[in-house]
Structure 1
Amino acid sequence: MLRRVFVAVFALVFAGILASCSPLEGDGRHLVPLSNSAKVRLASMGSSPGAAMMVRIFKQESVLEVWKQTSDGRYKLFNSYEICTWSGELGPKFYEGDRQAPEGFYTITPGLMNPNSNYYLAFNLGFPNKFDRAHGRSGSHLMVHGACSSAGCYAMEDDQIAEIYALAREAFTGGNRSFEVQIFPFRMTPQNLAAHQSSPHIGFWNNLKEGHDFFEVANMPPAWDVCDGRYVFRQPSAASAAASMAGQCPAVTADQRIVSAFMDRQATDQAALTSAITRLADAEQASALAEQRRINAQAEMTARSEAIGGFFDAIFSPFGGGTQQTAAVETPAQP
């Protein structure tokens, strides 16, 4: 009963906040209902508009995923959207003005929703988060928004952000106080990690992979905190009991089945990563040898051509040595 009252009050308050932020009188783009097709898809996967949601972003692939919680508590992929554009390169954001789109874990609350955005609709990522602040990083107004223009943000087409915004709005109206956004440099596969082993960000990305793998095996977003400059992850049900962390960092916390699956996933991927690194090293060595053989063959061919050309020049050139000798003999001696 109390939960129903809370949900009703929360819905009224949130609707009022949104209405008061309307950019123009009568402009209701932030209140456009979720489409019937979206509602049908949600129902078919055992979810609903008011169910909890989570967002994942993969920079290299330019993909934004929306996941929705289903009736059994697990999350399923609702839709994947192609990101229109993002700025910067692979790696985290460091300071205000570097035009770098951030990476990491961010918690979106109703106050970060922006119906009055200059970019159609938007939600702020809340950068810098606790992790970013621990590393002295700065920046503001880092968003997911429409208008397909980016200066440190993830920009979508307007129709895409309209649906994503509506999904978030309905999740809040359903009584959820926040949703998580996970941002990765690329799909966290051993092959991709092997290809970026020389990056200065590889330690940071390995830390992000822990949260990625937790979600993959648990089918629910982890609660996260920061300890000694690293992300640490816990089962959401244990989040409310955890204080701000410092000092020795605990391992991933969840029920034993999830922890076992997480450790298996990490071990399997580590073995695959080692193999991928070895294959890349072998391929690079083979490529280097092939290139050296090509250079040697080219040099040998050039030397041979020059030698043959010099031989024929000596024989047939009108300025060759034989002609010069004859001319010397035929030239009368000077008195």
Structure 2
Amino acid sequence: MSERSILVVAHTGRPESLGAAVEVVRLLRAAGVQPVVDAESLDDLRAACDADAELRVLGDDVAVGELELVIVLGGDGTILRAAELARGGSAPLLGINLGHVGFLAESERDDLASAVARALDRDYLVEERMTLSVRVKHGSEVVYETWALNEATVEKASRERMLEVVIEVDGRPLSSFGCDGVVMSTPTGSTAYAFSAGGPIVWPSLDALLLVPLSAHALFARPLVVGPNSSLAVEVLDRTQGVGVLWCDGRRAVDLPRGARVVARRSSTPVRLARLHPGPFSDRLVNKFALPVHGWRGPIDEEGRST
């Protein structure tokens, strides 16, 4: 039987996250499972773990394709980093929330030992989340390619200058306006930047793409929801005084000169999330946003009883 390898991803610059990572490493080693860490976290974890703790490094000692699971300790930002590290493999991500809202996380810090035990028993379901394939063109040349789990955002690079853009759906122009930027999002990202910009919340089970303008100076600048096979594009117009910047998941950035064109489509490679507590997305919204539902009686059957 081949050795089991589980990647542990944590924000090791934070004491709580580092302590949780040390505990997970200890639990994995006690179960005979090989802990794997990324090169960026290696020194911090080696210093914090027992002297005899053997840690293997992702990419040097263990390939992405050899991972069974990724245990992520932190908020959604850490999960986005883990998704980047695990890209190209099939290992699902199990998030333990040490942040605030933590929409992508599955368990809370108090459930750490239980979550690891279930991970070791492979007692979880895997949920696939749509991602974006993002391409930047300048003229006829593709100058940059990347991907995003939450969103690809075209933003103004200078605070004092507006970005002039034209938006496009399925290869056809829709409108042009000055704005602070445009968010192109997945349903997963609908509760992230797109939500802050006034976009709709889209259930992650729905295959769709979102386009949400940021502070647009236009009469027609409403959020758009299109089908999963559509393409979205944002062009930086020549009349723009400054330059733009493309951010993907708030992690990867590239400058956009005038005339640059950013195209976002559904990627063929989803992100896989390990779920310990599958349930209605409505419950997740209520819990994460602390929404008021007091007084709800539920559906009523034909005889007037709550069901």
Task: Report the TM-score when normalising by structure 1.
Answer: 0.20
Structure with higher strand content: 2
Task: Report the TM-score when normalising by structure 2.
Answer: 0.21
The structure that has the greater radius of gyration is 1
